[in-house]
Structure 1
Amino acid sequence: MPVRDSYPDGAPCWADLTCTDPLGAEDFYGPILGWEFEELGPEHNGYTMCLTGGRPAAGLLPPPAGAEQLPAVWNVYLAAADLDTVYRRVAAAGGEAVLGPREVPAAGRLAFGIDPDGAAFGLWQAGGHHGAAVYGEPGAMCWHELTTPAAERADAFYAELFPYQQKQIGDGLGFDYSAWAVPGSHGLPVCGRYRTAVPRPYWSTYFAVADADHAADQAGALGGRVLREPFDSPYGTLVPCVDPFGAPVTFCQLP
């Protein structure tokens, strides 16, 4: 597939895993997703690029010094052409602006916020790095999701950051799922919000795989925990997992 070089505002454009053992993460995700790895060295704080077909697909990094006790997590970055304006909206909408905007030399600018119920998310203004150069094929991101018990508050908060067109695709009761599109996505959703009872809301990433059953077998054999055996949905065959470091991740065999 061609290299992807842009994302509309509000679309998840990048994801990286923060964990205390990036080399262990390579051993887990590499076989499942067919990734190769490019370690950028100490000048980039130990950041590692995950590549599929030579194209950047995601990243791995150790936690900052002094934060080693924090749980492993896939950080999801929302594209923001005007990072400063969106970052100001975080606090104005009732969230917490925690980091940024910060320059990443030759790559772009980043910031981090926390929504009113505790879900952390990144913001990315592209420079030399536009985000994942591949999307929606095996080895690449294919979906992102906010899991939260506070559905109405989450919908309202993120709609203050970006002009999301939010559409309920469940019944709003037993299954409450809002699919979010943005101008520039041609009416297609770019991410979703799922309401369920969790102790702390979080953003998570789905990665496409060629064979869901094989991915489930690999995940278990490589030290992960498969939360549910592969199951079919209208959007593909899903394998929800927790990786060996405790980060939620879902593998998906696309239709």
Structure 2
Amino acid sequence: MTVKPEGTPIWADASFPDIEAAKSFYGDVLGWTFGESSPEYGNYTQAFSDGKAVAAVVPPMPGQEAMSQWCLYLATTDVAAAAGRIRDNGGQLLMEPMQVGDFGSMCLASDPGGTVFGVWQPGTHAGFEAPVEQPGAYCWAEIFTRTPEKSDTFFPTVFSFTSQQMEDGQMDFRLYNTTEGTVLGRMKMTDDFPPEVPPFVNVYFNVANCDDAVATATKLGAVLRYGPMDSPFGRFAGLGDPQGAHFSVIDTTTTAGGPPTTTDIS
């Protein structure tokens, strides 16, 4: 098994009050198929693209039915040590480190600004199986926060990221890097986001055609948050699914413009 650098995105899942509706929606929009539910793990259900594991859906835990939300898990080789660094740097543990059968170990946490994320130490479940360029696969993620200075201190310290600030007068955007390359973005939330929207990790899934994916999603009850728009990395759009979970779609084969100018922070 290839060991991923600390902090590399390794898995994503989301809780939905109506699991069958979520499976139908993401099946139509992203072409996902689904495996059997695992009653011993809260009916956790993996999603597949062309037979390769890409994500999972699960019913909410009791008391957490109010909001659907995608959760991105960051890789670690020692979940207990990662949990300790999270605590030591002002984060909050929402779920203490726990073993999940022989699949691996995990914890759930939030950064000092309230952005929720997971940490995963692989066992037999090594995380994403599909390459990022495959339609339906996880492709990219960005931390959306109103307190970027908190995230910019917390994540590089906990996961030993280096950082680059994008030189763009229209938005406050930063890149987090491991020794193997860029793994996450951090976007400052503007007033375009209603105050009741909490900070979140925006997960991108690859699609063959962004406009077609948006048309299908909105026809099925999704809300278009922004886009579709072109970028040097692909044509993308932000959506809220019918149960309220934020996510984005991107066609990485359709690009426009040159790479952005960045400044090394650390």
Q: Which runs of 5+ in 1 are unaligned?
A: none
Alignment match of 1:130 (pick from 126, 131, 139): 126
Within a 5 Å distance, the mapping from 1:1-255 to structure 2 comes to 6-69=3-66, 71-136=67-132, 137-171=134-168, 173-183=169-179, 185=180, 188-197=181-190, 198=193, 199=195, 200-255=198-253
Q: Which runs of 4+ in 1 moved over 3 A?
A: none
Quote the Cα distance in structure 2 between the aligned partners of 1:61 and 1:5. 27
**In structure 2, C-alpha distance between the alignment counterparts of 1:60 and 1:212, rounded to whole Å:** 23
Query: SS of the residue aligned with 2:170?
Result: coil
Once the two structures are superposed, what CA deviation does each residue of 1:36-60 show, in whole Å capped at 9, x if it has no partner?
1012331121111001111110000
Contact 1:167/1:179 (<8 A) preserved = yes
Distance in 2, Cα, partners of 1:192 & 1:170: 14
C-alpha distance in 1 between matches for 2:51 and 2:223: 29
Identity %, equivalent residues: 34
TM-score (norm 2): 0.89
In 2, Cα distance between equivalents of 1:6 and 1:142 = 19
Cα distance in 2 between the residues matched to 1:91 and 1:100:
11
Given that 2:156 and 2:176 are in contact with CA atoms closer than 8 Å, whether structure 1 keeps it comes out as no
Superposed displacement of residue 106, structure 1? 1.8
Structure-1 separation of matches of 2:247 and 2:3: 24
Which amino acid in the other structure matches residue 104 of structure 2? G
Report the Cα distance in structure 2 between the residues aligned to 1:239 and 1:143, rounded to whole angstroms. 13
1:216 and 1:229 in contact (8 A); partners too: no
Query: After superposition, what is the alpha-carbon deviation per residue over 1:107-145, rounded to whole angstroms, capped at 9, x for unaligned?
Result: 100001111111111000000001111131211000011
Instruction: Flag the 1:6–1:218 CA change in 2: closer, same or farther, 3 A.
Output: farther
Q: CA deviation at 1:6?
A: 4.8
The residue identity in structure 2 corresponding to 1:89 is R
2:29 & 2:7 partners in 1: Cα distance?
28
Gaps of 5+ in 2: 254-266
Structure 1 residues 5 and 239: CA distance shift in structure 2, 3 A? farther
Offset at residue 76 of structure 1 (A): 0.6
Cα deviation per residue 1:230-251 (whole Å; 9 max; x = unaligned)? 1101110001100000011000
Residues paired across the two proteins, number: 247
Q: CA deviation at 1:152?
A: 1.5
Q: Residues 6 and 130 of structure 1 are in contact (CA less than 8 Å); yes or no, is this contact kept in structure 2?
A: no
